[in-house]
């Protein structure tokens, strides 16, 4: 049910974006099930739809806000989040790829935006989402910022584990990254592996009754680190 709910919301937002629909990339927990290539238990529902847009100047931001207003998006006045809107009762966070004035940032949004991929939801709706490696990178960065050092209770860490468990090609995709992105994965996986609670963190989020997945993810993290060379 959660996958269906999330995709219905994404479609509703997409259809209301008018000519902005090709200028945004969907990110965050609402897209999580789009990365699975196997049958899974239901994913967690999310309360909002997150998307990113490239804004290069204050003028760009002002023009975007005016355009959103004209097509029916309203600022969520009940929230302290400056980039939060509502459309047809759906909460939508529309975040610039680079703009610290919104109160937070993610260092991988800009590159993730440039390397976004098409995802076909159905015969009439194709949206842009982050590639799987960039999705993992943005979630690792988000976990560092708001995970409070505990993967057991973090939705960001839960999303990371979901993709590592349910996307058959993910480790090949991660190994095929290069440059700063690959170095980032190695550094972050090393930090995670140093945590004595890592196995427990992972095991909290794999499908119920699937302990082999936890061991497999641990082994792949170790192999990824070991296989890296400058």
63 and 143 both lie in a single domain: no
* The pLDDT of residue 229: 63
* The pLDDT of residue 101: 64
At 122, is the secondary structure helix, strand, or coil? strand
218 and 161 both lie in a single domain: yes
84 and 150 both lie in a single domain: no
What helix, strand, coil percent values describe the chain, rounded to 5? 50, 15, 35
* The pLDDT of residue 39: 75
Asked if 72 and 12 touch (Cβ cutoff 8 Å), the reply is no
105 and 137 both lie in a single domain: no
* The pLDDT of residue 57: 74
* The pLDDT of residue 79: 85
* The pLDDT of residue 82: 84
90 and 141 both lie in a single domain: no
pLDDT beneath 50: ranges in the chain: 1
Domain C-terminal end among 97, 130, 163: 130
Domain count, the chain: 2
Domain C-terminal end among 130, 147, 182: 130
12 and 107 both lie in a single domain: yes
State the number of CA atoms in the 13 A half-sphere of 122 facing the CB: 8
Ramachandran quadrant class, 123 (left: phi over 0; alpha: psi -120 to 50; beta: rest): alpha
27 and 124 both lie in a single domain: yes
Alpha carbon distance 89, 29 (integer Å): 18
- Condensed to tens digits (0 to 9), the pLDDT of residues 41-67 reads 667 778 899 999 998 777 788 899 999
Domain span including residue 90:
2-130
Alpha carbon distance 203, 163 (integer Å): 14
SS3 of 10-33: HHHHHHHCHHHHHHEEEECHHHHH
43 and 59 both lie in a single domain: yes
40 and 117 both lie in a single domain: yes
Domain C-terminal end among 77, 106, 130: 130
* The pLDDT of residue 207: 87
6 and 107 both lie in a single domain: yes
* The pLDDT of residue 1: 47
20 and 121 both lie in a single domain: yes
162 and 112 both lie in a single domain: no
């Amino acid at each position: 049910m959660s996958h269906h709910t999330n995709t219905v919301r994404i479609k509703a937002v997409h259809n209301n974006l008018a000519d902005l629909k090709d200028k945004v990339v969907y990110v965050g927990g609402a897209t999580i099930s789009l990365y699975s290539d196997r049958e899974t238990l239901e994913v967690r529902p999310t309360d909002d739809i997150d998307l990113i847009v490239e804004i290069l100047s204050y003028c760009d931001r002002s023009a975007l806000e005016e355009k959103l207003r004209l097509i029916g998006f309203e600022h969520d006045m009940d929230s302290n989040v400056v980039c939060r809107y509502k459309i047809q009762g759906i909460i939508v966070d529309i975040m610039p790829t680079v703009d610290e004035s919104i109160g937070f940032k993610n260092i991988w949004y800009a590159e993730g935006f440039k390397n976004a991929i098409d995802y076909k939801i159905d015969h009439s709706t194709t949206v842009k989402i982050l590639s799987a490696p960039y999705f993992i990178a943005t979630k690792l960065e988000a976990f560092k910022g708001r995970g409070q050092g505990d993967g057991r209770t973090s939705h960001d860490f839960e999303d990371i584990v979901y993709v590592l468990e349910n996307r058959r090609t993910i480790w090949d995709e991660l190994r095929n990254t290069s440059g700063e992105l690959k170095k980032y994965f190695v550094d972050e996986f090393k930090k995670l592996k140093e945590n004595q609670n890592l196995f427990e963190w992972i095991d909290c989020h794999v499908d119920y009754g699937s302990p082999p997945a936890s061991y497999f993810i641990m082994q792949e993290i170790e192999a990824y680190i070991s296989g890296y060379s400058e």
